[in-house]
Amino acid sequence: MGFYSRHIAPGLVDFACGAKPIAYQRRKLIPQASGVVLEIGAGGGRNFALYDREKVSRLIALEPEAGMIRRGRERTPEGLSVEWLEHGAETAGLAPASLDTIVTTYTLCTIPDAIGALAALRPALKPDGKLLFCEHGLAPDAGVVKWQRRIEPIWRPIAGGCHLTRDVEALISAAGWRIDHAERMYLPGTPQWAGYNVWGSARAT
């Protein structure tokens, strides 16, 4: 991992993830989390202030990048206890049926094996638990997809490995999850090639 990947890319990614349209999407989703919560790719802690502390009994933050963990700790609201796990989802080692909610926001685009990561976490979810997701990815319109495919090879090394062309719903389903609810839109004030969002909830099959 080079200097750019260690020191420059995390700051750029964190800044982009704080954009107003993205922050609005987070506010729709995060208050739905309850019980013992695992956040995948918690990064700079952009979601932490949005959790309903009356509903969340424990918050575990999964993040493999030390630089992002530092940002997350700085952004943790006073009175919120966060347990950090500094590795990827595939090696999380969580106890079976120990989680009520798994949260992923703007994370699946960068995980090298996103399907494997989501599949590895399924056993840790309680039978009545849920996956809450809000991600950007492959657009439904051919003209936008054409630009996503053109831009992605340049975009990925600049944006910390972020893929523009991952089909979010297909990826979640391929990992063994059943999507219960999903909404879709292009984010306002965002280039369409980067702004197609899908958010909702799923359960392990």
| Domains of the chain, first to last | 3-204 (3.40.50.150)
Residues 134, 105 contacting (CB under 8 angstroms): yes
Rounded Cα distance, 84 and 1, in Å: 22
Q: In this predicted structure, what is the pLDDT of residue 90? A: 60
pLDDT at 18 over 90: no
Q: What's the confidence (pLDDT) of residue 13?
A: 72
Mean pLDDT computed over every residue of the chain: 92
Q: Is the pTM of this model over 0.95?
A: no
Radius of gyration of the chain measured on its C-alpha atoms: 16
| Separation of alpha carbons 180 and 64, rounded Å | 29
The structure tokens listed for 168 are: 């979010």
pLDDT tens by residue, 129-185: 999 999 999 999 999 999 999 999 999 998 889 999 999 999 999 999 999 999 999
Instruction: Lay out the sheet containing 35-40: strands in order across.
Output: 82-85, 56-62, 35-40, 99-105, 125-136, 196-204, 177-186
Confidence label for 3 from pLDDT (cuts 50, 70 and 90): low
Task: Report which DSSP code applies to 33.
Answer: -
Query: What's the average model confidence in pLDDT over 187-198?
Result: 97
CA distance 150 to 188: 22
For residues 181 and 91, give the distance between their C-alpha atoms in angstroms, rounded to a whole number: 28
Whether pLDDT at 49 is above 80: yes
The H-assigned helical ranges of the chain are 3, 9-16, 20-29, 66-75, 114-121, 142-158, 168-174, 192-195
pLDDT at 19 over 80: yes
Q: What is the pLDDT of residues 69-115, one digit of tens each?
A: 888 999 999 889 999 998 766 656 799 999 999 999 999 999 999 99
What lies within 8 Å, CB to CB, of 91 at 6+ separation is: none
The pair of structure tokens assigned to 121 is 């976490």
pLDDT, residue 149, reads 98
